[in-house]
Chain A
Amino acid sequence: MFIDIDCSQMKKYNQNAFGDYFISKRYPDEAKLIAVLSDGLGSGIKANILSCMTATMLLKFIEGDQIPISKAAEIIMNSLPVCKVRHISYSTFSAIEVDDEGNAKIVEEGNPEFIWIRNGEVMRPEYKSIPSKTFKNRCLKVYKLKLELGDRLITCSDGVTQAGLGGGRLKLGLRREGLIILIQDKLKEQPDISSTELSKYLINQARNIETDRLPKDDISCSVIYFREPRKALVFTGPPYHQQKDKEYAELFANFKGKKAIAGGTTANLISRELNRSITMDTTISIGKLPSCSYMDGVDLVTEGILTLTKTLEYLENGTMDIDNAAGKLVKFLLDSDCIYFMVGAKLNQAHYDPALPIEIEIRKNIIKKMACILREKYFKKVNIHYM
């Protein structure tokens, strides 16, 4: 199973920093993922520092694997200082550790209780309470769940459940019940909605019920969705040994999932080996990139190095919806969960002619950087195969 995870956030109005902090990391070797959402006391920079420290420290604690998640959370709970002004904890948190088999451990302190949805229904998991030995008003909730395909876990900061508090229609705010209705209605409409879209939808709804649509607190909502992975393959560069062209072309042909080719020579190679013709888009290329080509059974065919370099730049800057070959490749990548790169190691000497007016990077390096950003910023699973 694939864990589709994302978090959407909004700042309290008039603040220039997020007071909630979300962090998530995948561990491909152990096939697991850890995510932490922390809400810092107050708002703005102070809250940002508190929540950031809590979330990153908790993540480090859990990933160390030397102590169980419940123990790590308990230590943090007992150590968090008390605010002198408000006499409450500096921050609250929710953390989850989940593997690809669906075994999940969740700890919560102070944050609204997470929502577990299966087939449109809310599940009521059992939990163990661990009261703090040092602070009377703190209590840790520890859950152990077995998730199934299609399950969703929604975690939010109290900015969501308390949205609209004291306002016109909802005197007590959105509350957990209101949030559940929002989720269920959206899931009826779009049963396969991605975590990115669902979390965005929920924070927008929360903002919309605030008076004057101004968030009175930081709003964060993270969604975890267990689903079949959407697989994608990018074939770029000719193999080092030409006699292996056929073998790799067949691997490409037999791949189950979406396919892209980045490279003119590579496209010709696949076309020759699989006996499929290429047609080039007749529109004149926009900007500084050659336009796409078309081949039967391939979702996207682009030029190589220039397009990959631009794609990397868009991914780094979070630039979306650009109408050129790199923009299309960005969309191709982000609409997938597991991305495989088949990277040919053959160099084209002509690319390294100093007479070429721009710097052209080595393909391997671009792909390495791209894999890194897809993993870390976009939470994708990435595999690279050099050939």
Chain B
Amino acid sequence: MAEKISVKVCLGTTCFVMGSSNLQELIETVPAKYGDKVEVSGVPCLGLCSIDWEFSKAPYVKVDDEVIKEATVEKVLSAIDAHLNK
């Protein structure tokens, strides 16, 4: 069986106020949709806003190694789908 896809939602200050608080619903909806093929967790900080700040693309989510900028629930779900179909 293939390895689980890991989804990390950044819950650092910038991402949190820019909308990752709403992305927390993924913690519940993703396992309901994909079962144990995908693992979702919050992380204290992905450290991306301090590198990328001039362009301010928070909130950030990582699906395996892919960084999703200005993440929304839809963007994350389609990224998960893309990774599953690889």
- Measured CB to CB, the residues of A under 8 A from B are 263-265, 267-268, 278-282, 284-285, 288, 290-291, 293, 301, 303-306, 348-351, 353, 355-358, 360
Taking a contact as CB atoms under 8 Å apart, the answer to whether A351 and B41 are in contact is no
Chain B residues whose CB sits within 8 angstroms of the CB of A348 once the complex forms = 13-14, 49-50, 53
Q: In whole Å, how far is A236's beta carbon from the nearest beta carbon of chain B? A: 11
Query: Which residues in B have their C-beta under 8 angstroms from that of A288?
Result: 21
Other contacts beyond A268-B47, A278-B44, A351-B14: 16, CB < 8 A:
A264-B12, A264-B13, A265-B47, A265-B50, A267-B45, A281-B42, A293-B44, A303-B16, A306-B13, A348-B49, A348-B50, A349-B54, A350-B52, A350-B53, A350-B56, A356-B18
- Alpha-carbon distance A263/B54, docked complex (angstroms): 21
CB distance from B72 to the nearest CB of A (A): 16
Closest to A271 in B: B44
Q: Which 10 A-B pairs have the closest CB atoms?
A: A264-B45, A264-B44, A350-B49, A350-B53, A264-B12, A290-B11, A280-B42, A349-B53, A267-B44, A284-B24
A304 interface neighbour in B10, B13, B41, Cβ under 8 Å: B13
Name the A residues within 8 Å of B50 (CB-CB): 265, 348-350
The reply to whether B16 and A306 form a contact with Cβ atoms under 8 Å apart is: yes
| Complex contact B56–A355 (CB within 8 A) | yes
In the bound complex, residues from chain A placing their C-beta under 8 Å from that of B47 are 265, 268
Chain A residues near B66 (CB-CB < 8 A): none
A278 to B12, CA, bound (A): 14
Partner among A267, A284, A358 whose Cβ is within 8 Å of the Cβ of B17: A358
Are B56 and A285 touching (Cβ within 8 A)?
no
From residue B22, how far is it (CB to closest CB) to chain A in Å? 10
A281 nearest CB neighbor, chain B only: B42
Distance in angstroms from B56 CB to nearest chain A CB is: 5
How many residue pairs between the two chains, A and B, have CB atoms under 8 Å in the bound complex?
Answer: 92
B80 contacts chain A at the CB level, 8 A cutoff? no
Q: List 15 A-B contacts (CB under 8 A).
A: A263-B13, A280-B11, A282-B41, A284-B28, A285-B11, A290-B42, A293-B44, A306-B13, A349-B50, A350-B52, A350-B56, A351-B13, A351-B14, A357-B17, A360-B17
Return the chain B residue nearest A303 by Cβ.
B13
CA distance A284 to B40 in the complex (A): 12
B38: CB under 8 A from chain A?
no
Contacts of A304 in B (CB 8 A): 12-13
Complex Cα distance A320/B73, Å? 34
Q: Which residue of A lies closest to B8 (CB)?
A: A280
Tell me whether A353 and B56 are in contact in the complex, defined as CB-CB below 8 angstroms, given that A290-B21, A360-B13 are known contacts: yes
Query: Contact at A350–B17, with CB atoms within 8 Å?
Result: no
Contact partners of B54 in chain A: CB under 8 A: 349
CB-defined contacts of B44 to chain A, threshold 8 Å: 263-265, 267-268, 278, 280, 290, 293, 301, 303
B62 smallest CB distance to A (angstroms): 13
Choose one: A268, A291, A360; the contact of B11 (CB below 8 Å): A291
In angstroms, Cα B11 to Cα A301, docked, is 13
Task: Tell me if A306 and B45 are in contact (CB < 8 A).
Answer: no
